[in-house]
Homo-oligomer: A and B are copies of this chain.
Amino acid sequence: MPALRKVVIFGVGLIGGSFALALRKAGAVGEVVGFGRSATTLESAKRLGILDRIGSHAAAEVGDADLVLLATPVAQMADVFARIAPHLGAQTLITDGGSTKGDVVAAARANLGDKLTRFVPAHPIAGAELSGPQAAVAELYAGKKVVLTPLPENAPEAVARVRQAWELCGAQVSELTPQQHDEVFAAVSHLPHLLSFALVHDIAQRDNREQLLSFAASGFRDFTRIAASSPEMWRDICMANREVLFDELGLYIQELESLHAALADADAEKLEEVFSEARKVRSAWTQQ
């Protein structure tokens, strides 16, 4: 018998689709049923072998599921929680694939009622530029980090079983509190995305932007790769984590103001000190 007899997935794009394919490849799932807002996307997912069935009524499908994965945009999760809460079976666990956790946990608290104990939030650190079921692959999570942010209300066994599901997908699972999670990712993910979008936007405003871009080279290419990410997704992430991100951006502006002053003062020593410290830390990180 597979580890999970039935899995129900809301949102069958890159994250949800790859979860299904990975569990299938591991022989860890009996049946996968999918829900989504687009019939075309659901049909694709079925054709691609992601889904056994396209679900019709969430109420009828979640009662006998072992696991429900919410892999929709984070802004839609409150609705899904509300739709499924009354119908969850006694054994049904819930996890998600959202990039922010404070807002997802708040939506769960507001909509899951006493089923909150079954929700073990997760953030898989994988995938980025691609989207849709066509982009889904069984190997997406192999060797990648998945951060669980368990709730005080979770039973240890619920956390262990959700961890196992992600590990069956090949992921390396670690745990943070939702607050820690959002602080960490504000610094190492949300802020860099904002800065990269901002640089390209800054250049895009110039009359000579074509000339500028014609001389941009590999440094610019790598620095701005993440500025090709989905504007809607990153708007939502920034809004969901906006308080922490506001503080992070404030610290970064201070850092830039100190460099701005160093340029004004022709303070070469200060510049070299900042650059050297950064290079040391960045080079050590690469080697991990």
- Chain A residues in contact with chain B, CB under 8 A? 125, 128, 145, 147, 184-185, 187-189, 191-204, 206, 208-209, 211-232, 234-236, 238-239, 242, 245-246, 249-253, 255-257, 259-260, 263-264, 266, 268, 271-272, 274-283, 285-286, 288
Contact = CB atoms under 8 A, between A and B. Distances in A.
A253 B249 contact: no
A213 B184 CA distance: 9
Interface centre among A194, A211, A257, A282 (most CB of B within 10 A): A282
Nearest to A181: B215
B216 A255 contact: no
B257 A253 contact: yes
Given A184-B211, A255-B202, A197 B278 contact: yes
Contacts of A232: 272
Q: How many copies does the complex hold?
A: 2
A278 B227 contact: yes
A286 B228 CA distance: 9
A218 B126 CA distance: 9
Contact of A215 (B125, B197, B231): B125
Given A223-B195, A231-B272, A256-B256, A204 B278 contact: yes
A125 B250 CA distance: 34
A219 B192 contact: yes
Contact of A223 (B223, B250, B277): B223
Given A189-B220, A198-B255, A204-B277, 14 more contacts: A128-B218, A147-B215, A195-B256, A201-B255, A201-B275, A204-B278, A213-B281, A227-B278, A227-B279, A228-B279, A231-B275, A232-B272, A239-B271, A256-B256
30 contacts: A184-B211, A184-B212, A185-B215, A187-B212, A193-B219, A195-B256, A198-B274, A199-B255, A201-B277, A202-B252, A202-B255, A213-B288, A216-B285, A222-B225, A222-B226, A227-B275, A227-B282, A228-B282, A228-B286, A231-B272, A231-B275, A231-B278, A234-B271, A234-B275, A235-B268, A235-B275, A238-B271, A245-B263, A249-B259, A249-B263
A229 B188 contact: no
A239 B272 CA distance: 10
A283 B222 contact: no
A278 B234 CA distance: 12
